[in-house]
Amino acid sequence: MSMASVSHRIPASARPSPRFNGLLLVVSLLITFGLLMMTSASVEIASSQYGDPFFHLKRQTIFALMGLAGMLITLHIPMHFWRRISWFLLMASFALLLLVLVPGIGKVVNGSARWIDLGLFNLQPSELAKVFIVMYIASFLERHAEEVREQWSGFLKPMLVIGAAVVLLHFEPDHGALVILMLTAFCLIFLAGAKFYRLLLMLVLCIGAVTYIAIMKPYVIARFSSYLNPWAAENVYGGGYQLTQALIAFGRGEWFGVGLGNSIQKLYFLPEAHNDFVLAIIGEELGLAGVSFVIILFVLLVVKGFNIGRVAQREGSLFSAYVAYGISLLFAGQALINIGVNIGLLPTKGLTLPFLSQGGASLIVCCYMAAILLRVQYELENDLSSGGEGVDIWQQET
């Protein structure tokens, strides 16, 4: 069913009038600001490596256009289509996570096999897998709502799916995606009405397992110790180097920054300045004001996503509600971890900042997730309009 066919069934008098779309504005601001700051953070390294200071801007602009084209396509796909193929999406997720582990196919960078080289860009299967698995869990929670609330089986079945994905992510390894996926799944199951003591028990078991894995991996212990004391002589030029350079960037920025383009830390002092640590460059060039602007945009994105989920749940569209909740949690988890790493609240972990960090696959997937939220919003407004209710879902009682 296309968006056009939906509108033909709604009387002209009942169709929603054009309205200000806050969600679309927030996404547009994130994409635009991301292109600006990623370019500022990468001009020196791009000039040195490729002889073109705007090399990364050109590439990222192409990916942004691809992401916007994907958004337009996704906006025309009804949510019941994703519900119907959720099982195939789950199988595709596992296939991608397995494929990246195959020697010769998975691209190994810094000891981690997380990417598949597609020529134009490197696909990170975990980015797509997180969204697809969330869609499958949303479909399961809708179909087995009573079982999830009342029985252990309804709780354990989705956890087995998550467990299989966690094992594959561990072997890459991609512990950042692993943590985000686990926390998102826990939150979705809790929102579906699962008993809290079951969640608490499983959470304790997961924390114990993660702790055991960390103890068994020497590099994890080294990274954690450097996080606790990054300024120590043995860490400041070792495991704590990125964190200390990021903190220097934030310190130089103070309240309003040193000015756009005037960062010193991006001049080969801070590795991955245009990728995982783009927020540090924002802090240096635009100060606390710039960082606060980014945080406010992500807060608005997550709040609007949850508002959509609440209205969908109230209207009985459980699949759409859980998908909206899940995507909002994915955005929130990835942004929180990246910001926490940049400011030293969390150990250093390679995880991009949605919409802002350099990376084609990440930007395209973020645009896809935003389009899903916009599609849910569109369907809700049309349903409310055809039912004679107000169509501005942000003003609905929640």
- Hey, how many other C-beta atoms are within 10 angstroms of the C-beta on 374? 18
**DSSP code string of 130-176:** HHHHHHHHHHHHHHTHHHHHH-HHHHHHHHHHHHHHHHHHHHTT-HH
Degrees, nearest 5: CA angle 239-244-246: 115
DSSP state of 121: S
Taking a C-beta distance cutoff of 8 angstroms, is the pair 270, 280 a contact?
Answer: yes
- Hey, how many other C-beta atoms are within 10 angstroms of the C-beta on 295? 14
Question: How far, rounded to the nearest angstrom, does the alpha carbon of residue 309 sit from its chain's CA centroid?
Answer: 17
SS3 content of the chain, % helix, strand, coil (to 5): 70, 5, 25
The confidence score (pLDDT) of residue 335 equals 94
For 19, counting Cβ atoms within 10 Å of its Cβ (0-12 exposed, 13-18 middle, 19+ buried), the class is: exposed
- Hey, how many other C-beta atoms are within 10 angstroms of the C-beta on 298? 22
| Residue 342 backbone dihedrals phi, psi, to 5 degrees | -65, -35
- Tokens matching residue 152: 């252990």
Secondary element (H or E) of residue 264? none
pLDDT tens for the chain, 398 residues long, are: 444 444 444 444 444 455 678 899 999 999 999 999 999 999 888 888 888 889 989 999 999 999 999 999 999 999 999 999 999 999 999 999 998 888 877 777 666 777 787 767 777 888 899 999 999 999 999 998 888 888 888 888 888 999 899 888 888 877 788 889 988 998 999 888 888 888 888 888 877 877 777 677 666 666 777 777 777 766 777 777 888 888 999 999 999 999 998 899 988 888 878 888 999 999 999 999 999 999 999 999 999 999 999 999 999 899 999 999 999 999 999 999 999 989 988 887 778 899 999 888 889 999 999 999 999 999 998 877 765 554 455 444 43
Query: Which positions ≥6 away from 95 have C-beta within 8 Å?
Result: none
- Tokens matching residue 269: 């002092």
- Hey, how many other C-beta atoms are within 10 angstroms of the C-beta on 309? 26
The confidence score (pLDDT) of residue 269 equals 86
Measure the CA dihedral 161/162/166/169, to 10°: 80
How far CA 13 is from CA of 8, 9, 41, 57, 385, in Å, comes to 12, 12, 50, 45, 10
The confidence score (pLDDT) of residue 240 equals 79
User: Among 284, 289, 281, which Cα is nearest to 255's?
Assistant: 289
**DSSP code string of 2-28:** -HHHHHHTS-GGGSPPP---HHHHHHH
Which strands make up the sheet holding 112-117, listed edge to edge?
106-109, 112-117, 122-123
The confidence score (pLDDT) of residue 111 equals 63
d(CA 358, CA 63): 10
Taking a C-beta distance cutoff of 8 angstroms, is the pair 155, 189 a contact?
Answer: yes
Chain position carrying tokens 């903190």 = 247
d(CA 211, CA 241): 24
